[in-house]
Amino acid sequence: MLITDLVGALGAAHVLTDPDVTVSYETDWTGAFRGRAVAVARPATTDQVAAVLRICARHGVPVVPQGGNTGLVGGSVPAGAAAGAVVLSLRRLTAIEPVDAAAGLVTAGAGATLADVQAHARAAGYGVGVDFAARDSATVGGIAASNAGGERVLRHGMTRGQVAGLEVVLADGSVLRRLSGLPKDNVGYDLPSLFVGSEGTLGVITKVQLRLVGLPAARTAALLAVSDLPAAVGLVATLRATVASLDAVELVFGDGVDLVCAHQGRPAPFPGRPFPQDTPYLLVECVGPTDPTGDLAAAVETATGVLDAVVATTATDRERLWAYREGHTAAVNALDVPLKLDVAVPLARMSAFVDDLRALVPAVAPSARLHLWGHLAEANLHVNVTGLDRGDTGGREELTTAILTRAAADGGSIGAEHGVGRAKMAWVGLSRSPAELAVLAAVKHALDPTGLLNPGVIVSPGLTGSYRV
């Protein structure tokens, strides 16, 4: 029996079947995605992960790998085609190896949180080139599996750019290990890269080797209120061209900042200046070996459209400014379970896109409330909608189709940094051609011929074969 075999491999304490206990593994962070697992398996080693995969393959039961469950697209819960799967939680694989200071690398178990790896690297004088608000819960395995973006993409790229190597357990339980750490190791296809962003559909990531980045001696953040979105986009161009220390350009709007202030009990960033609700605010951060404040101030002073600015140079003041930006996800989720979309639209078309969204959303869903924020330097906009009827799946789909079709029409992406998961499956064809979809299915079939790994994510189960539950 499946459960008996899992207990034999992991011990009874690490095979969870009590619904009161498994529910937190079956529901994603937002509460939007829920499913039922036959069991939650909690291995502590790569060998135990391999044993779980062999057992599931033998019983023909699907497997949903799970890290911190903060992925936001439902890819880590046993819903839809993965109903009745074994949730394979990687959270006990938390070991972090000593930093290789000469190579600038660290290897961590998939279940180590981003915050723990950042602290570990910092103690050795290094930073991690990936960062975002969910750092305390998100695991490095999940970050690699979803090719997470975040707030440092401008300088360091997506997670793919930071992954030097991986250890992955394949569907049949065999282990693929590429952890040489050599920056030049050009022998055939780059397999670690293939698994980055594969969302648990090609293998289960058990170790992640990350490139580390230097820790800047000085850091300055500024929150800028800007007259309108075209001016904000113009400011991105100015900053990019003239401020070499530029590290992040994040976008929020007046109404979102008010929401965060109300949720966290914070004072407004520009007290006594009631800017209109649709005023864009840019959170700009610069880093360098010397204080970058002068460079940033010089660029901002010559820019058009900056209405006001708050500058922060101490860690406490910077955290205070970042809270206005990073508080958005929790503040929106506190209203109700939002429809969460994550698109990229070429910067030149961003303003027209936002104008269209502000008209389109009330036309499709009159009672809805639109929340926009994102990573402006990377043309990545988070489009959240609250006030929708929870049970009105058709209404949510209609709105999703309208917004994603609009983004795709502008040459945008329907899944900028959160990936596909279960949330975007129906719309993948808006961003990928039939030829690309055929290659995705062929890769999936080559590595997971029975389709047991996270079925219903990226490639639809029908394209890869069948599985028994």
Binding site for ligand MLT (CB under 6 A): 72, 132-133, 328-329, 342, 382
The minimum distance between CB 227 and ligand MLT, in angstroms, equals 24
The minimum distance between CB 114 and ligand MLT, in angstroms, equals 13
Residues 410, 346: Cα–Cα separation, whole Å: 7
The minimum distance between CB 72 and ligand MLT, in angstroms, equals 6
The minimum distance between CB 435 and ligand MLT, in angstroms, equals 30
Is 50 or 73 the residue whose CB approaches ligand MLT more closely? Answer: 73
Is 59 or 266 the residue whose CB approaches ligand MLT more closely? Answer: 266
Element (H, E) at 48: helix 46-59
Is 72 or 249 the residue whose CB approaches ligand MLT more closely? Answer: 72
Is 46 or 333 the residue whose CB approaches ligand MLT more closely? Answer: 333
Is 133 or 221 the residue whose CB approaches ligand MLT more closely? Answer: 133
The minimum distance between CB 367 and ligand MLT, in angstroms, equals 22
Is 178 or 382 the residue whose CB approaches ligand MLT more closely? Answer: 382
Q: CA 80, 194, 160, 412 torsion: positive or negative?
A: negative
Q: Taking a C-beta distance cutoff of 8 angstroms, is the pair 211, 97 a contact?
A: no
Q: At what angle do helices 2-10 and 46-59 cross, to 10 degrees?
A: 170
Residues 99, 107: Cα–Cα separation, whole Å: 8
C-alpha distances (whole Å) from 310 to each of 168, 233, 241, 283, 300 are 45, 19, 22, 10, 12
The closest of 223, 79, 243 to 155, measured between CA atoms, is 243
Residues 73, 68: Cα–Cα separation, whole Å: 13
Residues 396, 389: Cα–Cα separation, whole Å: 8
The minimum distance between CB 342 and ligand MLT, in angstroms, equals 6
Within 10 Å of residue 460's Cβ, how many Cβ atoms? Answer: 17
Within 10 Å of residue 290's Cβ, how many Cβ atoms? Answer: 11
The minimum distance between CB 327 and ligand MLT, in angstroms, equals 9
Q: Taking a C-beta distance cutoff of 8 angstroms, is the pair 300, 246 a contact?
A: no
Is 120 or 328 the residue whose CB approaches ligand MLT more closely? Answer: 328
3-state secondary structure of 417: coil
DSSP secondary structure string, 356-409?
Answer: HHHHHHHHH-TT-EEEEEEEGGGTEEEEEEES--TT-HHHHHHHHHHHHHHHHH
The minimum distance between CB 250 and ligand MLT, in angstroms, equals 8
Q: Taking a C-beta distance cutoff of 8 angstroms, is the pair 457, 75 a contact?
A: yes
The minimum distance between CB 334 and ligand MLT, in angstroms, equals 12
The minimum distance between CB 332 and ligand MLT, in angstroms, equals 7
Task: Return the residue nearest ligand MLT (CB atom).
Answer: 329
Sheet holding 63-66, edge to edge: 15-16, 39-41, 86-89, 63-66
Is 211 or 382 the residue whose CB approaches ligand MLT more closely? Answer: 382
Is 151 or 448 the residue whose CB approaches ligand MLT more closely? Answer: 151
3-state secondary structure of 318: helix
The closest of 358, 350, 384, 361 to 226, measured between CA atoms, is 350
* Buried-exposed string 13-32: b where 16+ CB fall within 10 A, e elsewhere: ebbbeeeeebeebbbbbbeb
The minimum distance between CB 40 and ligand MLT, in angstroms, equals 25
3-state secondary structure of 166: strand
Is 106 or 196 the residue whose CB approaches ligand MLT more closely? Answer: 196
Is 72 or 87 the residue whose CB approaches ligand MLT more closely? Answer: 72
